Amino acid sequence: MINIMKRFVESSVSQALHEGTQDGDSAASSATEPGTTSAPFSALDPPRSNDRSTPQVALPSRERNASSSSDPTMRRTVPKADLVMAIERFQYAMLLAERKTAVTQLQKLWVEADIPDDAHRLIIPVILNALVTDPRDTELMEAMLELMQSIVSTNPSNASILLQGDIVLIGSCHSQEHVEPHALDTILGLMQDPSPWIRGPTVQLIKKVQDGDSASFATHILACQEGHGLDSAVLVDCLHVIVNMVRNNTMSQSLLRETPFVPVLFPLLLDAGLPSPDQPNHHPTPLEDDDEGNQPSSTGLRTTLDILLCLVGPTPPEELDEVARRDQAKRQEERSAVQAHLAQLPDVVAAVSEVACHGVTEADRIHALQVLHLLCEDNDAHQLLALTWTSMTTSPSYVLSMCLRLDVHHEETPLGASARTLLDGVWHNDLAKISILQHIHAPPPPPLE
């Protein structure tokens, strides 16, 4: 049955094609005969080359209005009084529907009319104030952000106005003024809105402001306090990521030691934890003042010293799992090589010594003494090297000399206990013991020029 239907369809199609060919031939022959009129061409016939004129297509009214309004020369002029009235209608509208209607009228004016610059400066603070004081109506907020985009697109110099420090909102009677907060800060605050219909136009507005005045935009974005201190949130987070990567992981520790970041960046981080040069009357043993000795340690400096502890020292076995214990046993065989590698970084060792002698807080100094102790623990060569560790911040002095003073005068304090631990690690070396007794109290030689 299916084959019969297929044959029927094929025969019908071939017959229709044959009849269409015959009709076309007869029409062509009749058109060539003199005195006869040619049949009108159908839409499927190819166009003839002779007597063909280009059709004139009229644009719809909506497209004509859009094209005429996009051309600045074709925009209509609106009296300033009408602009001020439209802005005040939006500014003082009490009902939500009235404010939406006023925003729609302003959008139409900014698309179709030629707006003077003073009107731009008048409406910008009004919209900024409405963005933070209006009820959180998504449709109204989106319309106001789109209006602000039109204002910046129409006149790119308005981007510079938004990037200024403070914008003054002037009342309609020109007698009341109050200062609005920074415009870009207000716009950036909208990025925290939970609605994507508000965050999307906000991103577009920020992009238009950046395109309007890229230099001022970059200056404003970079002129912030974030990232310029040792306790910066960004810096502390990065250091926490590093210390979590290298803790109990010998492969990550080896990778970090092979990079140039330790000798380049760590001296800068450690020096940032020292007292500023203009800080008066700072002395290396602030233990007499309980408030100064109990100051909280800097998070950035503490994390930096934690990274050095992970690189050089073993972790207590009770804090390790079975796999980490095997790695720790393997690393114990390579510990002397690790100590030698870090000891060959003079800037890092010198910065740790400065923190041990002149750290701002007692916790920082204890932490630095622990790093120095691990550098020379069970290593005769480094125990002799410890004799040369000096502090040059105020008066030149040896680190071990400072440890002796702490052990003698402050033996009951945690800082004195840390200094005693470092001395006990060096005291087992006979040469170091003799040097301490004979020469440690002599001032170190001045640095080479």
Domains and CATH numbers, the chain: 71-222 (1.25.10.10), 233-389 (no CATH)
CB 69 within 8 A of CB 112: yes
Helix or strand run (H / E) with residue 168: strand 167-170
pLDDT value at residue 174: 41
Q: What is the mean pLDDT of each run of 10 residues along the chain (449 residues)?
A: 55 57 50 45 45 43 43 68 87 87 88 79 84 78 89 83 61 41 74 82 87 78 57 79 84 85 87 68 46 62 88 66 65 73 82 83 86 79 72 72 79 83 77 68 60
pLDDT value at residue 277: 61
Burial 186-223 (b: 16+ CB within 10 A, else e): bbeebeeeeeeebeebbeebbebbeebbeebbeebeee
Give the count of beta carbons closer than 10 Å to the beta carbon of residue 417: 15
Q: Which residues neighbour 358 within 8 Å (Cβ) at sequence distance 6 or greater?
A: 274, 275, 282, 284, 391, 393, 394
pLDDT per position as a tens digit, 261-312:
888 888 888 887 777 665 544 444 444 444 444 556 678 888 888 898 888 8
Using DSSP's 3-state secondary structure scheme, residue 10 falls into helix
pLDDT value at residue 440: 61
pLDDT value at residue 402: 80
Q: Which amino acid is present at 375?
A: L
Q: What is each CA distance from 317 to 309, 324, 329, 403, 436, in whole angstroms? A: 15, 9, 10, 28, 33
Reported residue count of the chain is: 449
Report d(CA 367, CA 270) in Å as an integer: 12
Report d(CA 91, CA 36) in Å as an integer: 76
Q: What is the dihedral of CA 368, 370, 372, 377, to 10 degrees?
A: 180
pLDDT value at residue 67: 43
